[in-house]
Amino acid sequence: MYKYILLIGTGSFIGGVSRFLMSRYIQNSVISGFPYGTMLVNILGCLLIGVFYGLSERGNLMSPELRMFLTVGLCGGFTTFSTFSMESLSLLKDGNFFQFTLYTTLSLFLCLAATWAGNAATKLF
């Protein structure tokens, strides 16, 4: 049990720091109040978790420990749906209804599509 906690904690640390750096870099590269950084990190995280789960379903390609590190730890720390929720609420509170609708619709659709694509890509090899 302690081994899994350490693996997940380490993955979460790496994922969280990566999320912060990537999201900040993207957001600082675009002059807009629209949360592009968070949306792109969520899409990438969903693509990665689809790939990781797809690979883990292919037999001996991934140990249970590595799957936990990558999915629960790394992707769990990397994806930002709590931030997504807060930013969505802020857009609503500020009266930015178009941006709210665009952000939530694109995030949901593209993240689901990226998860499917990541998983499907593992079936090609």
Helices (H), the chain: 2-29, 36-56, 64-68, 76-78, 81-93, 97-121
User: What is the per-residue pLDDT for 108?
Assistant: 95
Write out pLDDT tens, residues 17-69: 999 999 999 999 998 889 999 999 999 999 999 999 899 888 888 999 999 99
The predicted-structure confidence for 85-99, as pLDDT tens digits, reads as follows 989 999 999 999 999
pLDDT of residue 109: 97
If you count them, how many residues does the chain have?
125
